[in-house]
Chain A
Amino acid sequence: MKFFDFHVHSAFSGGESSLEELASMAKKLGYKGICFTAYPLSKNEEEILKAEIERVKKAIGIEIWLGYEARNLKELKKLTKRRKEFDVLLVRGGDIRLNRAACETPEVDILTHPEFQRQDPGLDHVGIKLAAKNRVAIEINFREILFSTKRTRSLILKNIAQNVRLAKKYKAPIIICSGAISHWELRAPECLISMACQLGLELKEAKDALSKVPQEIIKLIKERKSKDWVMPGVKVVK
């Protein structure tokens, strides 16, 4: 089974580790590919990052994608317009309006931690239904659980479990990511799968969240890069 981690921050986006350190640790742990998530960069920085990704991909021998994480509605609009220029579009959850906008946008691949810094889960049944319709994956962020304690952790676990319950009911895709900002925060696929099992997923569903759902996103990346692709759901048929 191939496992992928689609939410990893490097030194380019407020992380602590270089691309090389992250990629080699991911390979050691048994991942087939990872997605480096960055916040919108200037053109120069983006070119440097893309060149670095190509170099590391060849040096380490692991699949690497470039993802952008939108932090507000403005960034989401901008990134949606230039969707073809990068691989994965993530939206940083937490704000109710942004969570809802992410679920309504078919260009978005992943809504990261919708319950981030909130007392509630951040998504209702309407949002989850929209996410299911637009194939926006709801993320289970392991870093949030890892670095919280006691009351905060129990609240986060409760909120994630509710999102998982609703996502299962409405068949919205669920994805598990480490959310690591350092290579020491990456976790083995088995640890992520086991944690997802504690949050209400069956073993098969948990495995799919780390393998099948990322592979669906990879398939979309390939489709989007082809010349026939126009917009989500529309392509030229010859």
Chain B
Amino acid sequence: MNVKKRLKVLIPTLREKERYIAFQIISEEPISYSDLEAALWNTMLEFFGEYGVSKTSVWLIKNLYDQKKQIGVIKCNHKSVAQVIACLGLISRLGESRVVFKILKVSGTIKGLRLNQFKNTKIKNNEVMNYPADTS
């Protein structure tokens, strides 16, 4: 039998609805991607447990992390935006440096984040909290 090695891409209606969370790290020292990734996973696993984290489909997107401006993007499903943002608040240290996370924008697509607008650090914060709450 001739079986293809890759799975077929799911049609849009069958795919999970995703959200992208853009954030900025305010820190004492520059933060590397590996430190950030380790801290995010550890905090989420500690707070929600393995089962809880599996429901969030969380992923830190490597090629969108800007080490100069310390801006990054996290992908998760549309029901768990609040969980992920709450976990970002629980990260107080990255390596040796104390950190504070600022949430820049939440969007359904990477294009919608318009990351170019965050070149300057003056950002309006009010439009961020319009994501659907997870009431489950």
A binding-site residues for B, Cβ under 8 Å: 1, 25, 28-30, 142, 145-147, 149, 182, 184-195, 197-198, 202-203, 206-207
Interface pairs A-B: 3 shortest CB-CB: A191-B89, A30-B125, A203-B133
Q: Which single member of B82, B100, B126, B132 contacts A25 (CB below 8 Å)?
A: B100
* Contacting pair B103 A191 (CB below 8 A): yes
Q: Which single member of B26, B89, B126, B135 contacts A28 (CB below 8 Å)?
A: B26
* Contacting pair A194 B82 (CB below 8 A): yes
* Contacting pair B92 A146 (CB below 8 A): yes
Assembly CA distance A139 to B51 (angstroms): 30
Main DSSP-derived SS at the A contact region? helix
Given contact pairs A28-B26, A203-B133, A207-B129, A195 touches B89 in the complex (Cβ within 8 A): yes
- 21 CB-based A-B contacts, threshold 8 Å: A1-B126, A142-B89, A145-B90, A146-B90, A146-B92, A182-B98, A186-B100, A187-B101, A189-B125, A191-B86, A191-B89, A193-B82, A194-B84, A194-B85, A195-B86, A195-B89, A197-B82, A198-B83, A203-B129, A203-B132, A203-B133
Assembly CA distance A182 to B100 (angstroms): 11
Tell me the smallest distance from the CB of B98 to a CB of chain A, in Å: 4
Residues of A within 8 A of B58 (CB): none
* Contacting pair B89 A202 (CB below 8 A): no
Main DSSP-derived SS at the B contact region? mixed
Assembly CA distance A28 to B103 (angstroms): 11
Q: Which single member of B82, B89, B92 contacts A188 (CB below 8 Å)?
A: B89
Q: Which single member of A145, A147, A184, A193 contacts B100 (CB below 8 Å)?
A: A184
* Contacting pair B102 A29 (CB below 8 A): yes
Tell me the smallest distance from the CB of B96 to a CB of chain A, in Å: 13
* A157 nearest in chain B by CB position: B47
Given contact pairs A188-B103, A191-B89, A192-B89, A202 touches B133 in the complex (Cβ within 8 A): yes
Instruction: Write out, one digit per residue, whether chain B residues 1-36 have a CB within 8 A of any chain A CB (1) or not (0).
Output: 000000000000000000000000010100000000
Assembly CA distance A195 to B87 (angstroms): 8
* Contacting pair B82 A187 (CB below 8 A): no
Q: Is B128 engaged at the interface, CB distance under 8 Å to the other chain? A: yes
Q: Which single member of A1, A146, A147, A186 contacts B129 (CB below 8 Å)?
A: A1
